[in-house]
Amino acid sequence: MRSGHSRGRLLTAAVGLVLLVGGFAWAVTDLPGFGHYHHRYGAYLAQHSVPQRAATNSVNVITFDYRGFDTLGEEFILFVAVVGVVVLLRRIRGEEEEGDEGAGEEQPRASESLRWLGVASAAPIAVIGGYVVTHGQLTPGGGFQGGVILMAAITVVFVAGEFMLLLRLRARAQLLEMGEAVGAAGLGVLGFAGLIATGIFFKNFLPHGSRGELFSGGFLFIANLAVGIEVAGAILMVLSELLDQRLLRRRS
């Protein structure tokens, strides 16, 4: 019985593998050579995005302006995923807290050098994150990258063992939730604002400004800000949900 079961499984795996490898090999043979990308759309955007939108980071122009609608979809994927994780973790936590309470054990402490390193590097990382969010239209980076860097600043605090700060953060979970929701809604509102002002969804409705300045590229600044807030809030929410006061107390 068991061997027949595993034979069927093996057969299914083999068929799948052959199809996958064959299809993959077939697809790869038709790819352009390494570093020889030729496509009209890419070439057009590379050439015209900066003159048209006065923003020097054309990647940012593409994600939030030309393809803003796609980015909206991606943002909501993250939003929904985080909501799912948080709902799941809160249910587990609720069930647990009805059970035993492991009080009276002392908190674990990170080594002194790790604590200092973590505390010292948190602020510079946060500044870099803020810079990357606000300068997305000028230099590589943007809302998503900057938002994750902002989150990393707080992760460093966690590594340093300043658990109490993070627990206080979790006590303000509403703030994180609000940040995530406001950020996610912000990009949608921006799209609809374009629809109202110009008749086209996600069309820029703010003046472009002059190239190289902070407020150039029209609404890119606002879009980056919204996504930055959403991403930082979303990841922090997952991390803080994973933190469990009892978990922190018992580890040593």
Partner 1 sequence: MNALLIILLTLVGAAGWLTVTTREPVRQAVVAGILGLLLGLLFFVLQAPDVAFSELVVGSAAVPAMLLLAIAKVREQQASAARADDQSEPPGAGISGSQGGEAD
Q: Which residues bind partner 1 (CB under 8 A)?
A: 34-35, 57, 59-60, 92, 95-96, 98-100, 102, 132, 140-142, 144-145, 148-149, 151-152, 155, 158, 235, 238-239, 242-244, 246-247, 250-251
Residue with smaller CB distance to partner 1, 22 or 108? 108
**74 or 177: whose CB is closer to partner 1?**
74
Give 189 or 247: the residue with its C-beta nearer to partner 1: 247
Q: How many CA atoms lie within 13 A of 214 on its CB side?
A: 5
Nearer to partner 1, 162 or 193 (CB): 162
Q: What sign for the dihedral angle of Cα 219, 147, 120, 107?
A: positive
Which of 115, 246 has the CB closer to partner 1? 246
Q: Are 232 and 148 in contact (CB under 8 A)?
A: yes
- Say how many C-beta atoms besides its own lie within 10 A of residue 239's C-beta: 17
Nearer to partner 1, 65 or 193 (CB): 65
What minimum distance in Å lies between the beta carbon of 7 and partner 1? 25
Torsion of CA 108, 111, 113, 116, to 10 degrees: 0
The vertex-134 CA angle with 120 and 60, nearest 5°, equals: 125
* Residue at 179: amino acid letter: G
192, HSE (Cβ side, Cα atoms, 13 Å): 5
Minimal distance, residue 52 CB to partner 1, in Å = 19
CA distances to 114, 126, 130 from 146, rounded to whole Å, are 24, 9, 6
Minimum gap (Å) between residue 215 Cβ and partner 1: 20
CB of 117: closest distance to partner 1 in angstroms? Answer: 15
Q: Give min distance, CB of 188 to partner 1, in A.
A: 22
Min separation Cβ 145 and partner 1, Å: 4
Instruction: Report how far residue 151's alpha carbon sits from residue 229's, in angstroms, rounded to the nearest whole number.
Output: 10
**8 A C-beta contact, residue 55 and residue 220:** yes
